[in-house]
Chain A
């Protein structure tokens, strides 16, 4: 079901970092430094109407209206960054209008309240909310952003949304736990989780998808990084139940994005993936677990082995293959495989080619392979993200030569 007529189309997978002027511009009028920074990138990204747009931002006295203009401008930058890098699908321009994938969605849900931050890893945290009442969508979550994207994109787009299982898994669940009747502590948590999930699907996610599809969305990527968190039948069956209810009756392309599981996590997801209705693509993280050495055989491409589990498990859709790392890198890089710049690895096109070629061997059908970063690039600078994305495009071109 590829929407692009060439092998190994390249897609973004989620977020880009936000420039300072985007962060500050929704809090206070832009400073000269912010404007200069925005202008420098406008030149690089060929944002032709930059001066008109920035004048409008600077002249706007109302904070809410100014924020809208900043969001629109930042979205445009994200789209251009992806387009200039040569991507075939540019998503929504790096999710510039979202605080963060979880927080952005939760803010739009009645019944949820933020409690504070908890650690994810090292000095990275996320703001965690609790369900204190029955959940309902307070207002559309992604619709305005999609409108801006549609107006400004020159390439194919898709709308990443945070999946219901992840929203539930990353939240505390006091309301539904209190309503639970099971006698065991574990059983009560499971019962409450199911009720919470089905409420989110029905009252939040389906209305959102309805709005997006009505507005013209053709492809919705459901981000479910949490799905492999509990590699247990109860949770995987719950995920499948939630997914199938989410997509029921809608006519558009759906794909799943999942990343950073334990090894057993991917194995179990592979077993359940064929049960996902209308799931055309699984976009997965692999580069993080791979070596940074050239070679298109098993010994070097250890990170991609789990593709076998999906194929053997019977998943017949496309794969979005993660071919570049998106976090800090501190390992060794083999000759010709890339270079380390500070905390980043910039994978060479040749390493990316080898990853694509090996993944394709496992998938068995080159027409089913899309390529992308492991996950969103929000922790990298635009400079680094541009380099990585350009190299993915070059790597995909090199891989295409192998199949020409």
Chain B
């Protein structure tokens, strides 16, 4: 934990810096699981057996419970769990002009979930924007710092079907500009932290060409465009792949923080440093085993010896929607307990 100080990375108050490292924050990383009750109602709604009002009431209750859980666990930022979202792409797809959608569903990376593929049919810009489609801030009296996760410009462009742009770089740039307006509007509406989820920066499946320097540069430039004036309120989270090959470039991004998926990362080779937050995807959203707080704390300490950061954040590696709700909630509790352990460990 002392590496950042030793190397002169951080020039401020040394004790304060060390405390931030060992009193890590805790966030959720995207879509949370729906409860069994809500799942039952949405299925019944889908079959025409119940009305939308019933679903909506349960949605509110599920969201409130999640907010209360995070509030009770002293999370630094509150996420509404995006329980209304049908997939991680949907609200952004609906907010952009020039982007439509058809019947096609594609696999969400290497999971057993699917997303409706955005289809780019003309120049992309910001379309009709409704903040309630992104975050349910008015649902609860709890006051806190709100966090919203949206797909970053590179991943959104990569995961869309491009029927309009001859040059994919132009698509990327236009998506980034449109996303900048989305980020601005979210911040204006009181959101304190926007996560740009960029799995495509690290997910390089077999036979897909490795990143060339130019492609990486374009991708990171797009992230900078999207973050722009609100860079201090933006984190870039990567998952589903080993960030190793692009890690230092990611850590150099002028944003508040960068997230990595430790379940895909080769920890034996990784190293880097950042002046911002390092978000450790340290509980596995894809496995039901609930990580022990002791183990999380120990692993976080080990990683912080290899990755120097101004501040550590403990988080799930990706959306907790991949495990049932009770397990997702237990994992959130484990993160909070681990943060407490690390704090108590501080002499």
A residues touching B (Cβ–Cβ < 8 Å)?
115-126, 128, 130, 169-170, 172-174, 177-178, 184-186, 189, 226, 228-233, 236, 260-262, 264-265, 267-268, 288-289, 325, 327-331, 345
Contact = CB atoms under 8 A, between A and B. Distances in A.
The 4 closest A-B pairs by CB, nearest first: A116-B324, A172-B288, A121-B114, A123-B46
Interface stretch (B3-11, B213-221, B262-270): B262-270
Given A115-B327, A172-B289, A288-B103, 7 more contacts: A123-B43, A229-B107, A232-B206, A236-B206, A262-B205, A264-B208, A329-B103
Contact of A119 (B34, B208, B262): B34
A117 to B, nearest CB: 5
A118 B267 CA distance: 30
Contacts of A169: 112
A119 B321 contact: yes
B309 interface: no
Contacts of B116: 121
Contacts, number: 128
A21 B188 CA distance: 54
Interface of B: 33-34, 36, 39, 42-43, 45-46, 86-87, 101-107, 109-116, 205-208, 262-268, 284, 287-289, 321-327
A383 B103 CA distance: 21
Nearest to B105: A121
A117 B86 contact: no
A121 B205 contact: no
Contacts of B106: 260, 262
A123 B42 contact: yes
Secondary structure of the B contact surface, majority rule: loop
Contact of B112 (A226, A268, A289): A226
Contact of A172 (B36, B39, B102, B287): B287
24 contacts: A115-B288, A115-B323, A116-B324, A117-B324, A118-B112, A118-B324, A119-B33, A121-B87, A123-B43, A172-B287, A172-B323, A174-B287, A178-B289, A186-B263, A231-B207, A232-B206, A236-B206, A260-B106, A261-B107, A262-B109, A264-B207, A268-B207, A327-B105, A330-B102
Contacts of A115: 288, 323-324, 327
Contacts of A189: 263, 287
A118 B264 CA distance: 22
A254 B36 CA distance: 38
A397 to B, nearest CB: 27
Contact of A331 (B103, B264, B321, B327): B103
A122 B208 contact: no
B312 to A, nearest CB: 18
B114 A118 contact: no
B65 to A, nearest CB: 16
Contact of B263 (A120, A185, A233, A345): A185
Contacts of A289: 104
Contact of B45 (A123, A231, A268): A123
Contacts of B288: 115, 128, 130, 172, 174
Contacts of A288: 103-105
A186 B262 CA distance: 8
A169 B111 CA distance: 9
Contacts of A123: 42-43, 45-46, 86
A136 B142 CA distance: 49
A171 to B, nearest CB: 9
Given A130-B288, A233-B206, A331-B103, A118 B323 contact: yes
B263 A125 contact: no
A229 B206 CA distance: 12
Contacts of B323: 115, 118, 128, 172
A133 to B, nearest CB: 14
A177 B146 CA distance: 35
Contacts of A172: 287-289, 323
Contacts of B43: 123, 125
A392 B58 CA distance: 42
